[in-house]
Chains A and B, each alone.
Chain A
Amino acid sequence: MNWAAFVLGLVGIVADKLVAAFGSKAPPAPPAPPPREPGFDAVDAEIDRKLAGEREP
Chain B
Amino acid sequence: MIRSLLLAFLLSLAGCAPSLVDARHAVNAASELYDTTERPLVRRYEAEQLSCFEGALQSEPCIAEVRARWAPVRAAAEAFYQTLVAAQAAVGAAEAGAALGRAPSVGQVLAVVLEAIDAAEALRRAVATATKARAR
- The interface of chain A, by Cβ under 8 A from chain B, is 24-28, 30-31, 33-37, 39-40, 43-44, 46-47, 50-51, 54
Contacts and interface: CB of A to CB of B under 8 A. Distances in A.
B39 to A, nearest CB: 6
A34 B120 CA distance: 14
A27 B45 CA distance: 41
Nearest to A43: B46
Contacts, number: 61
Chain B contact surface mostly: helix
27 contacts: A25-B99, A26-B99, A27-B96, A28-B92, A28-B96, A28-B99, A30-B92, A30-B93, A30-B96, A31-B88, A31-B91, A33-B85, A33-B88, A34-B31, A34-B35, A34-B85, A35-B35, A36-B81, A37-B39, A40-B42, A40-B70, A43-B46, A43-B49, A47-B46, A51-B60, A51-B63, A54-B53
Interface residues of B, number: 32
Interface string B81-99: 1001100110111011101
A25 B96 CA distance: 10
A37 B49 contact: no
Given A37-B39, A43-B45, A43-B46, A27 B88 contact: no
B95 A27 contact: yes
Nearest to A24: B99
A51 B97 CA distance: 53
Nearest to B90: A30
A39 B31 CA distance: 16
